[in-house]
C-alpha cells in the first residue's frame, strides 16, 4: 500500500504509526501531486480518504479546492473539486477511485461525479464551514475499515472514470486574488483569460492538465505590488 500524505505541506503523518508494509509519500512539489504513486506498477485503485467538498459548497466543512484561491474548477464544464482532478490523473494510469471517506457533503459529491460504485463512508455531518457532528473515533475507524474491505471486494465492478482528450479546464480565481489573473494569462502560454476572474486552457491529457493547473495556482499566490 502506498500512502500519499496530501494535506497542506504534505508532512502530517507519523511514519512510525503506519503498517510495516506501507510506503509513505511525503512532502509537496511532487510531479503527480496528491496522486503520487498512481503511476507505479501494480496499483489497482485509490482510496480518497479525509476528503473535503469542493470550493463554495453550502454547509460543507472547510470546503475549498487546492490552495484556497480557487473559487471554481471545471473540467469540460462540470464543477468539481480536488477529487475530480485526482480521479482524472488516476484514470490516466488506469487507477480507479474505489473508496471515499470524509464529511457527508464531500462523500455525496464524489459518488455523484465518479459513480455510486465508489464506496462512501461519511464520518461527520456538516453544519457549516466550522461545525459538524462527528462519529466517535472508534466508530469512525470501524466504518472506514469495513468500507475499505468492501471496496476491495468490489474492484472488478468499478467502471473507469470518464476520459476525454483533449479536455477543457476552467479555473475561476477568488476575488481576493483576481489581480493575479493578468499575471497568469501573460506568463502561461497555454492559458486564455475568459472573464474578469477566470482562465481556461485545453489539456491533451491529465498530466498536462495537472501541470498547468498547478502553475496557475502558484502564480495566483504571487504577491504583487499595488
pLDDT tens for each residue of the chain, 226 residues long? 999 999 988 999 999 999 999 999 999 989 999 999 999 999 999 999 999 999 999 999 999 999 888 999 999 999 999 999 999 999 999 999 999 999 999 999 999 999 999 999 999 999 999 999 999 999 999 999 999 999 999 998 888 777 777 999 999 998 777 767 888 888 888 999 999 889 999 999 999 999 999 999 888 877 655 4
**Burial environment of residue 130 by CB neighbours within 10 A (0 to 12, 13 to 18, 19 or more):** exposed
The reply to whether 20 falls in a domain is no
Does the bond joining 166 to the residue before it have cis omega, within 30 degrees of 0?
A: yes
- CATH code assigned at 60: 3.30.1360.130
Q: What global pTM score does this model have?
A: 0.93
Among 81, 93, 77, which Cα is nearest to 35's?
93
Quote the domain boundaries for residue 38. 31-220
- State the sign of the Cα–Cα–Cα–Cα dihedral 138, 140, 143, 149: negative
The reply to whether 172 falls in a domain is yes
**Burial environment of residue 134 by CB neighbours within 10 A (0 to 12, 13 to 18, 19 or more):** exposed
Which residues are within 8 A (CB) of 16 and not within 5 positions of it... i.e. 6 or more apart? Answer: none
Edge-to-edge strand list for the sheet holding 119-128: 45-51, 96-103, 119-128, 131-134
The reply to whether 225 falls in a domain is no
The reply to whether 25 falls in a domain is no
Tell me, what's the pLDDT at 224? 58
Tell me, what's the pLDDT at 89? 96
Angle, helices 82-92 vs 206-220, to 10°: value is 150
**Burial environment of residue 86 by CB neighbours within 10 A (0 to 12, 13 to 18, 19 or more):** buried
The reply to whether 205 falls in a domain is yes
The reply to whether 226 falls in a domain is no
Tell me, what's the pLDDT at 165? 76
Tell me, what's the pLDDT at 168? 96
The reply to whether 135 falls in a domain is yes
Tell me, what's the pLDDT at 68? 81
Among 80, 99, 89, 198, which Cα is nearest to 145's?
99
How many domains does one find in the chain? 1
Tell me, what's the pLDDT at 175? 76
The reply to whether 113 falls in a domain is yes
Amino acid at each position: 500500500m502506498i500512502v500519499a500524505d496530501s494535506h497542506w505541506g504534505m508532512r502530517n503523518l507519523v511514519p512510525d504509526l503506519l503498517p510495516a508494509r506501507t510506503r509513505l509519500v511525503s512532502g509537496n512539489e511532487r510531479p503527480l501531486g496528491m496522486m503520487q504513486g498512481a503511476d507505479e506498477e501494480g496499483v489497482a485503485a485509490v482510496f480518497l480518504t479525509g476528503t473535503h467538498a469542493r470550493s463554495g459548497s453550502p454547509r460543507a466543512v472547510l470546503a475549498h479546492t487546492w490552495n484556497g484561491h480557487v473559487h471554481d474548477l471545471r473540467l469540460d464544464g462540470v464543477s468539481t473539486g480536488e477529487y475530480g482532478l485526482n480521479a482524472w490523473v488516476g484514470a490516466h494510469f488506469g487507477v480507479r477511485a474505489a473508496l471515499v471517506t470524509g464529511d457527508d457533503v464531500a462523500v455525496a459529491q464524489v459518488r455523484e461525479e465518479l459513480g455510486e460504485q465508489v464506496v462512501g463512508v461519511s464520518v461527520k455531518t456538516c453544519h457549516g464551514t466550522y461545525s459538524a457532528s462527528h462519529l466517535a473515533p472508534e466508530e469512525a475507524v470501524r466504518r472506514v475499515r469495513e468500507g475499505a474491505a468492501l471496496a476491495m471486494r468490489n474492484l472488478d465492478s468499478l467502471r473507469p472514470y470518464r476520459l476525454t482528450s483533449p479536455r477543457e479546464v476552467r479555473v475561476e480565481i477568488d476575488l481576493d486574488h483576481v489581480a493575479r489573473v493578468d499575471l497568469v494569462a501573460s506568463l502561461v502560454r497555454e492559458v486564455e483569460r475568459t472573464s474578469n476572474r477566470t482562465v481556461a486552457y485545453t489539456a491533451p491529457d491529465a498530466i498536462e492538465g495537472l501541470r498547468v493547473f498547478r502553475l496557475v495556482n502558484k502564480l495566483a499566490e504571487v504577491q504583487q505590488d499595488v
